[in-house]
Copies of this chain bind each other. A is one copy, B any other.
C-alpha cells in the first residue's frame, strides 16, 4: 500500500508538472525533457506512468472528471445539479483541473484528442439523465443526447467566460443560473420544487468534498512509512 500511495503521488506530481508546462509554453512546444525538469523525477519514473507526450495530455484532460463518485440522491436530477457545483468548486481549488480545461480549449494543441473530455462529460450527464428518465423525472419530449450535449457545451462556455471576466470568482453563481434556466424545461413540475439549485447547496457540497479529500489524503499518508 505504501508503494501504491507513493505511485499515486508521483503520477499526480508528473501530471501537475505537465499541466503547468503545457499552460506556460503551449502544448505543441512542450518537450518531455521540460516536464522531467519541472517534476524533478527520472525519465524511468515518467515513462512508468506515461508512454508519451500525448499520453500525458490525455492524463491531464482526464483530471477534470470527478475523482470520486457523487453521493446518490433520492431525486436523480439533483446529481446533475451537484455535479455542476462540484466541478465549479474543483476548478477554483485545483490548478490541475484548471489546466485540464485549458488544454481542452487550446486550439493550438493539435494531435491531442480535445474531444475526449467533452465526450466523457456528455456520457456522464447522459447516464444521469437516462436514470432520471426511467424514474419519470423528465418531461416526455426530452432528448437525452441533445440535453446532455447542451449541458456539457454550455458549462464549458460559462466557465470560460467567468474565467476571462473575473478569474472564475462568480462561477458558482453562473452555474446556479445555468441550472435554474435549463432544469425547468426538462423536469416534471412534481420534481422541480425538490431540486436545490442554490449557491448554499454548492457551499455545502464544497465543504463535504474537501473533508472527504482530506480524509483520503490522510489515508494515503498513513500508508507511507515515516
Contacts of A159 in B (CB 8 A): 157
Interface of A is mostly: helix
**Cβ of B156 and Cβ of A160 under 8 Å apart?**
yes
Answer whether residue A180 sits at the interface, using C-beta atoms and an 8 A cutoff: yes
In the bound assembly, the distance between CA atoms of A106 and B160 in angstroms comes to 11
Contacts of A181 in B (CB 8 A): 147, 150, 181-182, 185-186
Select the residue from A118, A149, A150, A157 with max chain B CB neighbours within 10 A: A157
Contact with B along A146-190 (1 / 0, CB 8 A): 110110111111111110110000000010011011101110000
In the bound assembly, the distance between CA atoms of A118 and B105 in angstroms comes to 16
Which residues of A approach B to under 8 Å, CB–CB? 23, 26, 102, 104-108, 114-115, 118-119, 146-147, 149-150, 152-162, 164-165, 174, 177-178, 180-182, 184-186
Contacts of A152 in B (CB 8 A): 161
Residue of B nearest to A101 (CB): B107
**Cβ of A162 and Cβ of B153 under 8 Å apart?**
yes
